[in-house]
Structure 1
Amino acid sequence: MTEIVAGGSGEFMTVRHARVSGSQAEIGRALAEEARAHHGWQPLPADPTISRARRAWFERHWPQHHARMAGAAEVAGVAPDDDRVHLDALAGVPLGSGCSATWSASGVMGRNYDFFTVGWEAMFALMSGGEAPEDEPPAASRPYVVTSVPDDGPAVTFVTMNELDCAMDGINEHGLAVVLLIADAENAGAPVPAGPQVGLSPSQLPRFLLDTCENVEQAKAALLGAKQYDLGVPLHYLIADPSGRAFVWEHAHGGVEHIIEPDGDALCVTNHLLHQPADPSRDGEETMFTHDRLARLDKRAKAGPLSPSLLRDALDEVRFTSGVYPLRTLWRTAFDLAERSMSTHFYLGDAADGEPRYSPELTFRAVR
């Protein structure tokens, strides 16, 4: 079942909530049908050697995704083992974003999802100094909230920008929550156009953890054992569970992996690598003020346990409203880990005074 839950005609966003259940293959088929209907999805051409190796990796390490690809194959009208195509990535690939996130041992976690309000070609033009095309739809204007309830795994609720089989942030029925953020705004550039590789893409990694793990310790083990790639745009991830544990996972340049533990009862992350010494002198429009946002979040989070209302206040303090670049906080998600819930409001456009307008906050739970 799919319904529009925020925005719509005349607003910047149309946000749909898809609730799917059944076998993993049935869920994969339903999401592929939705992607075809609203995104025009069709399988991407593939190098047969890479395609075959990807399927084998998923079958061994992420069988839930492997089964969902078989469901997508039905929609595409091809065999599940057709090496000529990729049967996932049910739309495009996010190129990177701003974003701020914070966790408190009081059992709350939250994030701002900061991204451009223009289309893909306009983003490339911003990076290269070229001209942007007219009438291009914004890349992030059709997000989904997906709640999947598989027969053989945990219920999961996640928000995705434009790929129905990937997650920007989400939570599962065990209370494990994951959010992704760009990891190195100080050295950001266009992605490498190499296409899907063997292992986990940046936006597949959150769903991989939500599908396969119950807590922080399992998530650490899963990440250390997984093959990952970033195509030139490294991301990092804030991961927490209801027991009061959290960490940041950084898969940095060169594939070096880092686990950053909390220093006390709070952990905050924005858009620079936490395992390296901070250099606030580089802060500015080009880095989306990543160091300033982190300092402000840290100050609030370490002043005492964050209540749900204080969490929202902290995120709203560092949201994007205006600037040189067409960048806004497109949604704010607040997690209640004990309740297995995520509450999100979505950007609808700017008011006459230039301030962003948001939908009412909507609450989604990862329950059966």
Structure 2
Amino acid sequence: MFFEEKVITGSPNEFMEVRHLKIRGSNFDIGKKLAEIAYNNHHAMPYPATTKYKYQLEYFKNNYPILLDRIQGATDYFSNINIEDNSYDFSSLIYSSGLPGCSVVFYPPTTTEHGSPVVSRNFDFTTGTITGEIPADNEKPAFANPYILELHPDEGYSSLCVSGYEMLSGVLDGINSEGLVVTLLADDDAITHYPIEPTYQPQVGLNELQILRLLLDTCANIEEAKKALHMNKHYYTLYPLHFLIADKYGNSFVWEQSHGRNKEFTFDGDKNHPQVVTNFPLYKYQSESQFPDTDDRLSMYNRFCNIKENIKRNKAPYSINFIKNVNQQVSFHDHSHLRESQCPTRTLWHSIYDIEDRTILIDFYLGEENETIKRSGYIHLSL
């Protein structure tokens, strides 16, 4: 097994410290190493196992054997520190959590200056704890330690992704070696207007973060991704989400589920126009005229309209600088709040995936000094 770890920006004295982990080896070895990092760096522990855990492992065996191998590696690691494998569920190693706000745009190759498909994504979140409170003296903000995970397994596709909640099986956004990009966004409409029913612990099936890891590990294009989404059982541990998925061929789609999680909706992109999504479900609205009125500059509806109008005012093809500017126009950098919080909301990172080159340009929020926001500047990473 090959392992490399680097701090690519930030420090313990800044808002966040970002590490790039590169692991090459068997899925068993990858799982064991990720468990070691989760435990040593964040004291992450597996959940207590329920009586359904054996059925969950059987599900992975039949539907996602790559993850089962990683779970077995994590199980092996924890067995060496006196945690019995029959008492715990090793399918997730959560070290933080929360509900992000996001603005994502997919630019088909016909719309970019350099002819490569591009996904541009803001990840917005409170600068406080997962509940938006001011961190205590011995407490870190929820997103103090995001990771760039670069995995090269012996079985399944290689991938480069951002992780911030969970170490073993979760993804927030990423790209694989076949040119598939995945992104997730909170479904604020479902959370605001309907009772939600999180499981708060693993179940049989794939949770809201694991499903994107499955797509990166096993899917080469959006048709394979659609099939995987339809063929697998979904549940959410904490929050309902929706996804934008894109591939190297210039195809994209948004995947959504009804608030009761009983219906699925897919919205295919247009190969000649960018596809936009924020934090409301597209299936609820036939046109923008149906959006609720709001004066909040950075509401999920106004961010969507701002992006669409900005793109419409400018003719394709679009440069990378233009793509950066579009997302910067809807980034959180003032007194706007994504949700009620004691701490300000900030765009914690802006990632640009160049699908043809299998690269990420990513810019992180590092804190503030004298009311001036400090950012890392765009860091280039290649798969």
- Asked if Structure 1 and Structure 2 have the same fold, meaning a TM-score greater than 0.5 normalized by the shorter chain, the answer is yes
> Which residue does 2:267 correspond to in 1?
260
Shift in Å, 1:74: 1.1
Alignment map for 1:117-266 (pairs within 5 Å): 117-120=127-130, 122-123=131-132, 134-135=136-137, 136-165=139-168, 166-185=170-189, 187-188=191-192, 192=198, 194-231=200-237, 233-255=239-261, 256-263=263-270, 264-266=272-274
Alignment map for 1:241-320 (pairs within 5 Å): 241-255=247-261, 256-263=263-270, 264-277=272-285, 279-283=290-294, 289-302=299-312, 303=314, 304-320=316-332
Number of residue pairs aligned between Structure 1 and Structure 2:
355
The alpha-carbon distance between structure 1 residues 45 and 187, as it changes in their structure 2 partners (threshold 3 A), is closer
Shift in Å, 1:81: 10
> Which residue does 2:87 correspond to in 1?
84
| Residue pair 1:102, 1:267 contacting (<8 A) in 2 also | yes
1:238 and 1:312 mapped to 2: Cα distance? 18
> Which residue does 1:57 correspond to in 2?
59
Matched residue type, 2:235:
Y
| Residue pair 1:144, 1:162 contacting (<8 A) in 2 also | no
Q: Which moved more, 1:79-88 or 1:151-160?
A: 79-88
1:168 and 1:133 mapped to 2: Cα distance? 23
Q: Which moved more, 1:322-331 or 1:9-18?
A: 322-331
**Cα RMSD after superposing both structures:** 2.3
| Residue pair 1:201, 1:230 contacting (<8 A) in 2 also | yes
1:81 and 1:59 mapped to 2: Cα distance? 21
The alpha-carbon distance between structure 1 residues 257 and 293, as it changes in their structure 2 partners (threshold 3 A), is same
Shift in Å, 1:72: 0.3
Shift in Å, 1:283: 3.4
Matched residue type, 1:230:
Y
Alignment map for 1:357-368 (pairs within 5 Å): 357-366=374-383
1:43 and 1:362 mapped to 2: Cα distance? 32
SS in 2 for 1:99: strand
Report the identity percentage. Answer: 32
TM (norm. structure 2) is 0.87
The alpha-carbon distance between structure 1 residues 284 and 144, as it changes in their structure 2 partners (threshold 3 A), is farther
Shift in Å, 1:233: 2.1
Q: 1:116 and 2:129 equivalent?
A: no
2:146 and 2:183 mapped to 1: Cα distance? 15
Q: 1:38 and 2:41 equivalent?
A: yes
1:84 and 1:48 mapped to 2: Cα distance? 10
1:284 and 1:185 mapped to 2: Cα distance? 17
Cα deviations across residues 173-212 of structure 1 (Å, max 9, x unaligned)?
1110001010224743887353111111111121110001
Matched residue type, 1:52:
K
> Which of 29, 49, 65 is matched with 1:26 structurally?
29
Instruction: For structure 2, list consecutive stretches of 5 or more residues without a partner in the other structure.
Output: 110-116
SS in 1 for 2:21: strand
